[in-house]
Structure 1
Amino acid sequence: MATSELTAFKEKMKLRTKRFAHDCVRISLKFPENMLGDHICKQLIRCSTSVAANYRASCVAQTIPTVIAKISIAIEEADESEFWIEFALDEKLISKAQSEDLKRESHEIASILIKSRQTLQQKRLA
């Protein structure tokens, strides 16, 4: 991938992960103000914003192992976001339509980042 393509990819992913975090925050703030709603709200906000923050950190990391580590955290947090979205649906805190869009996005982000990590790991071994 050429440098300009890599830069464009990174910027697109920064925006995409940030938009995902914002979408999760917006939906979380609509949860009922009770013990369960508050807990799921905090968990989803924490992990979804962590996806964006760790991806962003990977873009400025100084070494390949650090990039891989930050991307790995973002993958784990995207997967956890998907879990909390599913849980919120199970508890009827969000609609099926709302959950489908967020779940699809968290899954796609994780898949893209897994492929990026694999590519970096292969480069490191070459």
Structure 2
Amino acid sequence: MDDLEKRLKMFMLRCVKVCRTLPKEYEAQHFAHQLIRSSSSAAANFRAVRRGRSQKEFFAKLSVTLEELDESLFWLETIVFTEIVPERRLKELIDEGYQVLKILSKSRKTVSD
């Protein structure tokens, strides 16, 4: 789990760095705030996953982590879709997000089986 926690923290840090470079226009700053909120929430909730007192609590916190990570990917894709940042600049970050999302989804499926 330490590797995943580190990957989620690095994902959040990279999202913050992207947001620092966005233009000052309203929509770019709105997307930036949403991205920072969701990426930091994904990292924080994953930390809580590790402290789950029961299988149900573990599953619930993991589900929140997945939702927040998926939302972060939505905001990154929105930043590309609205042509605020070129896709080539965010491709690696988006790919990393999807890789972690797949790993966490499999973990959640294993818990529910």
**Which of residues 67, 71, 79 in structure 2 aligns to 1:80?**
71
Give the SS at the match of 2:83: coil
Could you tell me which runs of 5 or more consecutive residues in structure 1 were left unpaired when the two chains were aligned: 1-9
Distance 2:58 2:84 in 1: 35
Question: Number of residue pairs matched?
Answer: 113
Task: Report the TM-score, using the length of structure 1 for normalisation.
Answer: 0.85
Q: CA RMSD in A?
A: 1.0
Q: C-alpha separation between the residues in 1 aligned to 2:76 and 2:28?
A: 12
Separation in structure 2 between the aligned mates of residue 107 and residue 56 of structure 1, nearest angstrom: 19
CA displacement 1:3-48 (0-9 Å, x = unmatched)? xxxxxxx100110000000000100111111211110000000111
Q: Structure 1 residue 97: deviation in Å?
A: 1.9
Q: Where do 4+ consecutive residues of structure 1 move more than 3 Å?
A: none
Match of 1:36 in 2: 27
The one of the two structures with greater contact order (alpha-carbon pairs below 8 A, sep at least 6) is 2
Provide the residue aligned with 1:64 in structure 2: 55
